[in-house]
Amino acid sequence: MSESRGAIHDPDDIALAWSERAGLRGLSIRSGRVLAIAAAGVVLLLSLLDFSQGLRLATFDLWQRVFPRDRASAPAVIVAIDEASLAAHGQWPWPRTLMAALIERVAANHPAAIGVDVLFSEPDRLSPEQLAPMLAADDTALAQRLASLPTHDAQLAHAIGAAPVVLAVAGMPESEVPTAAGRTTPVLVRGPDPAAIASHAALLRSIPAIDVAAKGHGLISAEPSGRVVRRAPLVARAAGTLMPAFSVELLRVAAGLPAVGLDTAGSGVKAVELGDLGIPTDRDGAVWIHFAPRSAQRFVSAGDVLAGKVGAEVFDRKLVIIGLTALGLLDFHVIPTGERVPGAEIHAQLLEGIFDQDLLRRPGWLAWIEALALVGLAALAVVGAARWRPRTSLIAGVGAAAALVLIAAILMRSGGLLMDVTWPLLGGVAAFTVMLMATLAESDRQRRVLRRALNEERIATARNAGEQEAARRVQMGMLPPVDGRTVADPRVAIAALAEPARSVGGDLYDYFLLDERRLFFMVGDVAGKGLPAALFMSVAKALLKSAALRGTNPLDAIIDEAHDELARDNPGQLFITLFVGILDLDSGALEWCNAGHEPALLLPADASAPHPLYGASGPPLCVIENYPYEVNRDTLVPMDRLCIVTDGVTEAHGAGDELLGRERFARSLANIGAGAAGVRDAIHALLTAHGGERERADDATVLVVEWRGAGSATDRGGGATSAP
């Protein structure tokens, strides 16, 4: 049927063909499953390899924005060396005497500790002893006087020494900076040496004169500005030595503790300990800062402090951070909320978080939960897409994803746990997408297969119907009219019935005048169905007619001649039953020949019981070669009717599968009034009643011939078609 399929241009066929395009042809649910698992596996691998740290961090930043920290307590105050301060006291760097004054002003208000987020790594250029050598040539006396004055650095050291001050020391990435010696707060490690801890190659300190004066030294890292600050180390290694971070050191000094404790396990840090307070950290000793919104309440201006405009209660028992906030001084960092904040604020926010125990955590096991979530989502896609309809599995997938996000949000909100959902969702979406494509491709393919099958069936049906129709037309076209009008002779009335079964068989009937007084008639039935039977029947009919019309052949000679011709070329091994008769319209003499056919039924003119015409009969034509068919002779009386049927009538199957039967058939034809058509109609009614709704299994053919007697030519006028 390939040529037929090619000829049909189904627009749906073309529109639906996407599932058969090169990339998708092999995509079934089965192969989709493998692909989906592979896709989820790749995503899982990428997530475990931290292929894109940014993706995960972006999720964490989102959590920070959605759930910022509530600023519960305010342990830290920032003394901001801001634009206003610079405007009032001159450009940076300030003389160290001014810094000393600032520290003294703060210290006078009983702060818990003062953190100075400024490095004094060179001597003050404005100090009097620095000016002395420049003036020595011009005014020796002045130079000597200047040199004898207390240095600015000494004054600052004095101010620092008089207060609980923590100085910043900076960890540097390169060792090009010569590391100055100086005091370092002891870090007591409880457990193995924490190799995983962050490490700086070198350490930058204030000049020794100032450095030694301080009660504490806290590490700040010289991070390049502009990077997003999410985590802060609480302890780090600098130039080979473990040191507390600036914030931790502030707390230690405030608490008056001699050392910082470090709880380690394996090669990593578990917690930083300040007396009784333990602060859990990541393995590298850092914590995730939970940022609160910016607040002006954290800041006081250094200018205001120097001017005495700030009340004593502002610093009382607070951790005070002195830091630079003027925009030009470049100590700015970006925090997860996207804001740019000065370094001092990050310290303050970290201190707030430690105080309120509101730090974020990212324990190692959470990564496995995330991996599990990814596998779970992918599994849902793989299992669900095959089992459920695409819409159901889509709803399930979206629901599972939403549940995951909700769980992560709850963990963040109530436990401060940073859970990544981006990678699990990516893995799930990858698996879902592949499965959805596979499902759609497969269902599309199935639809196309069904459509194709339907088309082929339609074509086959059409062909079959076409053949049946052709066979029926051959058959019906060959038959003379059922009302006998082609023999318009008053001596005879003819009525016929041809009821083909659905699959056309090979029944036939024929009647014609051989000459002025002889009527030739026959009924036949070819064994077989369809076009071959119909063609065989038409050939048989034509052969018989031509043999009959050739002249004065006796009936047996007509049969023999047709038989020979038919048998000579019969590849299908078909055979045909025949009842053939010649009626002398003047005398009522009947010659008949039966080749395996139903006996003709005689319906006597006197309305006595119908009876079959018994006599010599032979097998159907083409069953036994050269069979000598015998001719039987009877004589009709006027108004006798001959009724010849095929086995489609006598063997018609009723609703209960019972046959009509010859006896019942014959009985039912008793007491039917004159006329050929009446008999025919009675048989038709009988068949309809017997068969019921049942489809006819075989052709049913009827031919009724009524001899009206020779005299009727003058008595009645050509009423062949009239029926009572």
Partner 1 sequence: MPPSGEVSSSAIAPVGRIGAGLLPASRYADVVVVAPQDRLDHANGDAFSLALEPYLADCRPGGIHLVLDLSALRYVSSAGLRCFMLAAKQAKAQGGEVVIAGMQAVVREIFEISRFTLLFKVFDDVSAALEALSPRAAQVHRGR
**Which residue from 151, 185, 617, 712 is in contact with partner 1, where contact means CB under 8 A?**
617
Nearer to partner 1, 315 or 627 (CB): 627
Question: Pattern of binders to partner 1 over 23-52, x per CB under 8 A?
Answer: ------------------------------
Kindly state whether residue 662 participates in binding partner 1, applying the rule CB under 8 A: yes
Kindly state whether residue 597 participates in binding partner 1, applying the rule CB under 8 A: yes
Count CB-CB contacts under 10 A for residue 110: 14
The distance of closest approach from Cβ of residue 648 to partner 1 in the complex, given in angstroms and rounded to an integer, is: 9
Kindly state whether residue 623 participates in binding partner 1, applying the rule CB under 8 A: yes
Q: Cα angle at 295 between 290 and 301, to 5 degrees?
A: 125
Count CB-CB contacts under 10 A for residue 457: 10
Distances (CA, A) of 139 to 132, 136, 358: 9, 5, 61
Which of the stretches 159-167, 365-373, 453-461, 612-620 binds partner 1 when contact is defined by CB under 8 A?
Answer: 612-620
Kindly state whether residue 619 participates in binding partner 1, applying the rule CB under 8 A: yes
**Which residue from 599, 610, 691, 709 is in contact with partner 1, where contact means CB under 8 A?**
599
Q: What is the distance between the alpha carbons of residues 160 and 168, in angstroms, rounded to a whole number?
A: 12
Distances (CA, A) of 254 to 80, 113, 317, 319: 20, 5, 9, 8
The distance of closest approach from Cβ of residue 618 to partner 1 in the complex, given in angstroms and rounded to an integer, is: 6
The distance of closest approach from Cβ of residue 569 to partner 1 in the complex, given in angstroms and rounded to an integer, is: 16
- Residue 705 is inside which H or E element, if any? strand 700-707
**Which residue from 114, 574, 621, 672 is in contact with partner 1, where contact means CB under 8 A?**
574
Kindly state whether residue 642 participates in binding partner 1, applying the rule CB under 8 A: no
Instruction: Quickly list H helices, 604-668.
Output: 647-650, 662-668
Retrieve residue 454's tokens: 């339907």
Nearer to partner 1, 588 or 620 (CB): 620
**Which residue from 194, 424, 427, 596 is in contact with partner 1, where contact means CB under 8 A?**
596
Burial label for 715, CB within 10 Å (0-12, 13-18, 19+), is: exposed
Distances (CA, A) of 491 to 592, 606, 712: 19, 18, 6
Burial label for 383, CB within 10 Å (0-12, 13-18, 19+), is: middle
Which of the stretches 287-295, 395-403, 464-472, 596-604 binds partner 1 when contact is defined by CB under 8 A?
Answer: 596-604
Nearer to partner 1, 333 or 529 (CB): 529
The distance of closest approach from Cβ of residue 641 to partner 1 in the complex, given in angstroms and rounded to an integer, is: 21
- Dihedral Cα 618, 622, 628, 633, nearest 10 deg: 50
The distance of closest approach from Cβ of residue 653 to partner 1 in the complex, given in angstroms and rounded to an integer, is: 8
Burial label for 343, CB within 10 Å (0-12, 13-18, 19+), is: buried
Number of chain positions touching partner 1 (CB under 8 A): 28
Kindly state whether residue 624 participates in binding partner 1, applying the rule CB under 8 A: yes
Instruction: Quickly list H helices, 149-277.
Output: 152-161, 208-211, 246-255
Burial label for 309, CB within 10 Å (0-12, 13-18, 19+), is: exposed
Q: Report DSSP letters for 510-566, one per residue.
A: EEEESSSSEEEEEEEEEEEEHHHHHHHHHHHHHHHHHHHHTSS--HHHHHHHHHHHH
Retrieve residue 330's tokens: 């470049």
Nearer to partner 1, 139 or 663 (CB): 663
Nearer to partner 1, 429 or 574 (CB): 574
Kindly state whether residue 620 participates in binding partner 1, applying the rule CB under 8 A: yes
Retrieve residue 585's tokens: 């319209």
Kindly state whether residue 659 participates in binding partner 1, applying the rule CB under 8 A: yes
Kindly state whether residue 647 participates in binding partner 1, applying the rule CB under 8 A: yes
Nearer to partner 1, 142 or 623 (CB): 623
Kindly state whether residue 521 participates in binding partner 1, applying the rule CB under 8 A: no
The distance of closest approach from Cβ of residue 634 to partner 1 in the complex, given in angstroms and rounded to an integer, is: 18
* Chain residues 478-507 in contact with partner 1, contact rule CB under 8 A: 503
Which of the stretches 408-416, 522-530, 534-542, 635-643 binds partner 1 when contact is defined by CB under 8 A?
Answer: 522-530
Cβ pair 330, 225 in contact under 8 A: yes
Nearer to partner 1, 451 or 696 (CB): 696
* Chain residues 679-718 in contact with partner 1, contact rule CB under 8 A: 697-698
* Chain residues 525-564 in contact with partner 1, contact rule CB under 8 A: 525-529
Separation of CA 492 from chain center:
79
**Which residue from 64, 185, 439, 577 is in contact with partner 1, where contact means CB under 8 A?**
577
> Residue numbers of the site for partner 1 (CB under 8 A)?
503, 525-529, 573-575, 577, 595-599, 617-620, 623-624, 627, 647, 651, 659, 662, 697-698
